[in-house]
Amino acid sequence: MKPLAVVPLCAFTDNYIWTLHNDTEAVVVDPGQSAPVIEYLQAKRLKLSTILLTHHHADHIGGVDDLIKEYSPVIYAPHESRIPQATHRVSAGQVVNLPQFAINLTVMEVPAHTRSHIAYYDGERLFCGDTLFAGGCGRLFEGTAQNMFDALSQFATLPEATLVCCAHEYTLANLRFARAAESDNPRIVEWETEAQKRREHNQPTLPTTIGLEKATNPFMRCHLPTVARSAADFSAQTLLDPVSVLGALREWKNQF
Ligand SMILES: [Zn+2]
């Protein structure tokens, strides 16, 4: 078996198109733009066999039509009419087999950022689209705080070493917010310093890990008194449960 490379290709201003490949073929996740993908595939002389889509937003599927013309890949996507290009619709618990890379990806349903959002987990890596980010979570365009809490709770059950392949480079802005939400957590400051170094060298801060997110991401720490207190201070309301804390954090972050 050829070694598997996992590479985040930069798109737009802060998107990553995660690309898995061996010596001959590639899989891409959420190609919002075709040009960076085609350029990479041509430089490496790779064929695109498969596209995995997490949700319908244009910055995640905008490159799909061009890639179909060029490579005719198999396309996995959620049951979602706003993604007409799918060749295979998948839902919770279904497995996407990629024998050429010796990986099997289990589909997780995480409706929150959009109502049909899914994620793919291969036992080592999580491709989570716009659900979980380093230090933050996606905006709630079509779901509720409860939906996001449930999605992040599913992710929290994965092994701590799981590599989280998020779709945007939002880490520094998120960690600045995380510091405000939980000012007494030294792990946030350490991670922010490390992330700053990487960005100064133009390197991605991703993938992050489930363990690091559980230690630093306020949206995965809504059960903690410090986080609950700062969310309550922001919203000027008594927040009785972690879901209400998450909802208040999300609103706070929207205007932070
Ligand atoms: Zn999105």
CA distance 18 to 123: 16
**Is 5-254 in CATH node 3.30.460.10?**
no
17: nearest Cα among 60, 50, 56: 60
CA distance 103 to 235: 44
52: nearest Cα among 107, 114, 133, 14: 107
50: nearest Cα among 23, 34, 71, 78: 71
213 band by pLDDT with thresholds 50, 70 and 90 = very high
Classify 175 as helix, strand or coil.
helix
Q: Which residues surround ligand 1, an ion (CB under 5 A)?
A: 57, 130
Q: For residue 23, indicate whether it is catalytic.
A: no
Q: For residue 113, indicate whether it is catalytic.
A: yes
Q: Across residues 75-95, what is the average pLDDT?
A: 98
Provide the 8-state DSSP code for 162: -
Sign of CA pseudo-dihedral 113, 118, 124, 125: negative
pLDDT tens, residue by residue, 176-185: 999 999 999 9
Structure tokens at 136: 């933050």
The per-residue pLDDT for 1 is: 57
Query: Where in the chain are the domains?
Result: 5-254
pLDDT over 90 percentage in the chain: 98
pLDDT over 70 percentage in the chain: 99
Q: Name the pTM for this structure.
A: 0.97
Q: For residue 57, indicate whether it is catalytic.
A: yes
Question: Average per-residue pLDDT in the chain?
Answer: 97
Which residues, in sequence order, are bridge partners of residue 40? none
Q: For residue 59, indicate whether it is catalytic.
A: yes
